[in-house]
Amino acid sequence: MKKVAFSGASGNGISPLEQILVKKGYEVYGSDSAFDQGLDSSNRKALETAGIKIIPQDGSGITPDMECLYVSAALNDNNPDIQAARRLNIPVKKRSDLLSEIFAQYPKGIAVGGTAGKTTTTAMIGYILDSLGKKPCMINGGMLCNYQDRPGLPNYIYNEGEYCVIEADESDGSIQKYLPYIGIVNNISHDHTSMEKLVEYFSVFASHVQYGLITNYDCPLARKLTCNKKIFRYSIKDASADIFAENIKTVNHGIEYTLDGKTFRLNLIGRFNVSNALAAISACILLGIDKYEAAKALEGFTGIKRRLETVGTSNNITVYDDFAHNPSKIGASLSALKDYPGRIIAMYQPHTPFSAVNTGNEVADVVAQVLNDDDIMIMQEIYELTPQDVGISSANIINRIKANGHANALFLPHKEDTRKFILNNVKPGDRVIIMGAHDNSLPDFSRELLKEI
């Protein structure tokens, strides 16, 4: 039996890979600083249930008989596990290296890229293929609600057939590593790095497709992507695209749309989810699957944890938990909620100082554009802010929102401030949405908030 270790074991990108290697018969060890601090206990329990042996992230669990140490992109060479592996001459590889190796083992790999929607689209494709008995492998950064009842974390499906569906991350440029049978680009918008770099990453990705490239015809930058293989385009705005959804309308706890006059429903809210569904259906079309059969299967899809997830409703107040962390995602989530009646109380916590500086002005602009005067926007202090980050604060973004004419914008640095404000001001008919990435306490925060409401 091969023996490997993972550092950053609780991460959404690493955890499905750990579980897949267990399924492949590996002896898998995992460490995470959050576990050492007594945090992410539910993730720890789930991973242990899946067969991963948890070790401290102090280097002590790295042993000479380990074949490789796989690490999160967030870790640097000062990490004790990495230093121990170097001393023992154990190869250290990135998460994306292993993902690329697994992906290459399947003859028909579908890689889903885009600065928004790729997690949901990846899950949709995996769910459709699984529901239709195609026995896919799916590796994702989000937790599929449909698979919550099985052991481990529900961010993967494991089979050894011909299909493998992965979420291809552009944030670290690793999207350029993959050679997909089918590549998908949902959109290209400002996030993580400069727009020039993002366009470069997606252009390289597009050039690597082996059979077909699927792009969102409604995104100008995605529409411009070219390759020397088949190009298939989807749209919710332009009937000249290869597949087009129309008559989109909100319904209770969902959304309806028509394809060629046939009506289908999603158990998700937001027009952007119809766009995600079209991307998934397009992949099925290129795989030779009937588009109506794919759309019908998708009606059973119940979504991704933390993707505009409905936490619950109490006293006619609904709470949502959302991973939104860039301008396009925040705008899409708030716009989806505006399709329904009721005031919005939104809280957004930027995850890094770089994110706040890189996209803060755009976040402020989209918030001021989407929210009405009676809606309330709250921002907590940046999650990973350090004393060295002088002059950077969520307060700067709040000031720009106010300058754009939205007076109901508040800087409340800590969760306790946010909790007290919401509980003192929320009223029946309101929708409360908690937004942000990296901070694994946000889902629990939203659930506790619902209980107090």
The tens digit of pLDDT for each residue in 357-386 reads 888 888 999 999 999 989 999 999 999 888
**What pLDDT sits at residue 370?**
93
Residue 204 has pLDDT above 70, yes or no: yes
Helix (H) or strand (E) holding 43: helix 41-49
Is pLDDT larger for residue 74 or for residue 286? 286
* Parallel, antiparallel or unpaired: strands 163-167 and 137-139: parallel
Judge whether residue 40 has pLDDT over 90: no
* CATH number for the domain formed by residue range(s) 309-452: 3.90.190.20
pLDDT at residue 77, rounded to an integer? 87
Does 195 score more than 80 pLDDT?
Answer: no
pLDDT band at 74 (very low <50, low <70, confident <90, very high): confident
Q: What is the pLDDT of residue 192?
A: 60
What's the pLDDT band for 415 if we cut at 50, 70, 90? Answer: very high
pLDDT in tens, 266-320: 999 888 899 999 999 999 999 999 999 999 999 999 999 888 889 999 999 999 9
Domain with CATH 3.90.190.20 in the chain: 309-452
Backbone angles phi, psi at 224, to 5 degrees: -80, -15
Report which residue type is found at 406.
Answer: H
Q: Any idea which architecture 104-298 has in CATH?
A: 3-Layer(aba) Sandwich (3.40)
The average confidence (pLDDT) of the chain is 92
Give the C-alpha distances (Å, rounded to integers) separating 46 from 30, 43, 80: 12, 5, 24
Q: Which of 302, 342, 296 is nearest to 319 (CA)?
A: 342
| Burial of residue 438 (number of CB atoms within 10 Å: 0-12, 13-18, 19+) | middle
Domain(s) of CATH 3.40.50.720: residues in the chain: 3-94
What average pLDDT does range 194-201 have in this prediction? Answer: 82
Question: What is the pLDDT, as a whole number, of residue 196?
Answer: 80
Architecture of the domain defined by 3-94: 3-Layer(aba) Sandwich (3.40)
Q: In which residue ranges of the chain is CATH 3.40.1190.10 found?
A: 104-298
Higher-confidence residue: 125 or 354? 125
| Residue 191: pLDDT over 80 | no
% the chain with pLDDT above 90: 73
- Share of residues in the chain with pLDDT > 70 (%): 99
Beta carbons of 310 and 320 less than 8 angstroms apart: yes
